[in-house]
Amino acid sequence: MALLELRDIEKSFGGLRVLEGVSMTVEEGSIQGLIGPNGAGKTTLFNLVSGLLRADNGTIVFDGTDITDRAPKHIARDGVGRTFQLTRPYPGMTTQDNLLPGLVYAGGYDRVSEARARALELLDLVDLADLAHEESRDLTMSEQKRLEIARALATEPKLLLLDEVFAGLSHEDVARQIELIDGIRDELDVTILLIEHVMEATMTVCDRVGVLANGTIIAEDVPDEIVHDEQVIDVYLGSGRDEVGTGADSDATPDEDVPETGGGLDG
C-alpha cells in the first residue's frame, strides 16, 4: 500500500519552474531514495510534503488523506516527520531536552515525565543516550546528525523524511547511519523517504530510488537498475558511473572513500 502519493505536483518560485509534474509513491514499510542534481527540487518536494510550502498544482495524499493544503503542525501530527539538511538543535538545551518539543507538540506526550522517558529511549536508539545531559551544541557533527533524526522521531512519525543525513560523514559514520536507518524502519515500523547525494550509501540502504531532474521523475526503480539507467547516468551520475556501488554485491564499489556525486546539471 502507498503511504505517500504525489500526483502531478507543480511548483515555481517566481519565474523559476522547479517541479513540473512530479508523481511518485512511497510504499508503506519501504526505504525510498530520491536523488537528482543540485537544485533539482528535492528539498522543495520535502517542503511541500511537510507543509512548509504550498504546491501550485497537484495532490499529496498521505495515509489515505489529502494533505495538500494542510498546515505543517497538522501534517506533523498526521505522522510525517522530517530532518533538515542543516541540523539546528535548540541552543542551550541538553540533548534530551531537544526532543521534548517534538514529543509534546506532535508526538502525543502530554506528560513531561513520559516525554522525558521516551526521549531517553529515542536517544538510546540513535546511540546518544550517554550524551543525554550534554548541551546539544557540544555534540560532534555526526552526533548532531543523529540528534536531528531523534528529534524527527520524537514526533512519532509513520513517514520520516531524511534530508542528506549522510553528507559530510566519515565512512565509519555512514555505515553506522545506514544501520540506524534500517533499524528505524524495522524496529519502529517507520517508512522512510530520503534525499541523498552519497550514492553508495543510498544504493545500499534504499529498496527503491527515484530520480528527480528537469522538474520531473525521470526514473524510479530498484538501485541496481537505477545505477545502470542511461538517462540517469547522463543527467546525474555522469562520470561517477564507475564509482557507484550498490552495496555488498556490487562489482564497482571503490574501497577508499564513499563516493559523493552531484554531477550533471547544476542549478
C-alpha closest to that of 209 among 247, 264, 179, 255 = 247
How far apart CA 181 and CA 131 sit, in angstroms, is 20
Residue 240 binds ligand ATP (CB under 6 A): no
Q: Which is nearer to ligand ATP, 83 or 96 (CB)?
A: 83
Q: Which is nearer to ligand ATP, 214 or 250 (CB)?
A: 214
Applying CB under 6 A, the span of 38-46, 66-74, 134-142, 185-193 interacting with ligand ATP comes to: 38-46
Closest distance between ligand ATP and the C-beta of residue 240, in Å?
15
Residue 208 binds ligand ATP (CB under 6 A): no
Please count the residues of this chain forming the interface with ligand ATP, following the rule CB under 6 A.
11
Residue 44 binds ligand ATP (CB under 6 A): yes
In degrees, to the nearest 5, what angle opens at C-alpha 257 toward C-alphas 204 and 208?
Answer: 15
Contact by Cβ (8 Å): 83, 152: yes
Closest distance between ligand ATP and the C-beta of residue 162, in Å?
13
Contact by Cβ (8 Å): 82, 110: no
Residue with cell 527540487: 41
How far apart CA 128 and CA 31 sit, in angstroms, is 23
How far apart CA 62 and CA 66 sit, in angstroms, is 6
Q: Which is nearer to ligand ATP, 122 or 201 (CB)?
A: 201
Site map for ligand ATP, 6-35, x if CB under 6 A? -------x----x-----------------
Closest distance between ligand ATP and the C-beta of residue 32, in Å?
16
Q: Which is nearer to ligand ATP, 126 or 206 (CB)?
A: 206
Beta-sheet strand order (sheet of 2-13) = 16-27, 2-13, 57-62, 65-66
How far apart CA 105 and CA 204 sit, in angstroms, is 34
Residue 38 binds ligand ATP (CB under 6 A): yes
Where along the sequence are the contacts to ligand ATP (CB under 6 A)? 13, 18, 36, 38-44, 267
